Amino acid sequence: MTVPPASESDAPAPAPRRTRAGAVIIGPTVRSRYLPGALIGLPLVSLLLSPFAAAALQQWRHSRLREGHEGMLEQLLALAAMQLLFGVLALWALFCLWALVPLVLTRRVVLFDERSGSLVLRRGLRIADRATLAQVRYATGDAERGGMGLIGLSGQPRPGGAPDGDMADPARAEAPERRWVVPESGWDDAAFDGLRVLQAAAGLRPAPPRRQLVQENRRARREQNHRALARRLGMPWREEYAHDEAAFQAEFDRVRRVLGGRAPRRDGDPRP
């Protein structure tokens, strides 16, 4: 994970999600992961499959009418538009339930109580492990979606809960006896801020805000792509291109015109 140079005093204070008891939630909650899909993705899928649900409702209505039932619901479903509407709503409710159950049963988050210094690893509906703040050796995580967070724990609590010397570097420290994995540590700003709160409380260097890390990672990927394009054309690379996309694009277009014979060649330009 690339960390851009920035002053810690300029970084905004972490704003993590908390439980009703006030514990910091490290990682995304079920609500934060569930709502985007339930409110955006699943309605679209339900709309696409609504004709099949409407056909099933029509068959159900015909069977009810043959049995002599003709209530308000049967009369309401006489319209094709109402069959489609009820089909969309029924599929939406069914898909929402199917999506919610796996999320609840497979979620994995860490709850950090700042007052008592205790940490709890929750897997699904149960508590999988417990630890204290003094046992935290390192805490790191990816700032982008799809990544994971790692919390290394020692077997015995360390005095003061803060690393000294080489202990601050997980690469030099002894291998921890336990390591907690937090999926989707960079799901959103609040999920990543929970990890930042733990880092500060454990005496570790807090990571920059997630938004800053994401922007830096995107800039690094863009620079890598631009370097590959420049090598392909034989175009000299300048350090200003790493931060000035407009300057790179202008020079890249000029070199392409030079190679195509539509612009005069300058010193250092590749030959056509």
- Give me the residues of the chain with pLDDT under 70, please: 1-10, 156-176
- E-only strand ranges, 75-218: 108-113, 118-123, 126-132, 136-141, 148-153, 178-183
pTM over the 0.75 mark: no
Residue 29 is predicted with a pLDDT of 92
Residue 5 is predicted with a pLDDT of 47
Residue 156 is predicted with a pLDDT of 55
Distances (CA, A) of 197 to 13, 19, 208, 217, 226: 9, 14, 11, 22, 36
pLDDT tens for 69-120 read 778 888 888 888 999 999 999 999 999 999 999 999 999 999 999 999 999 9
**How many Cβ atoms sit within 10 Å of the Cβ of residue 131?**
20
Place of tokens 């997630």: 210
Could you name the CATH architecture of 8-29+107-212?
A: Roll (2.30)
pLDDT tens for 16-34 read 999 999 999 999 999 999 9
**How many Cβ atoms sit within 10 Å of the Cβ of residue 47?**
14
- E-only strand ranges, the chain: 24-26, 108-113, 118-123, 126-132, 136-141, 148-153, 178-183
CA 111/CA 126 separation, integer angstroms: 12
| H or E stretch covering 60 | helix 42-66
- HSE (CB half, 13 Å, CA atoms) of 202? 33
Domain ranges of the chain: 8-29+107-212, 30-105, 213-259
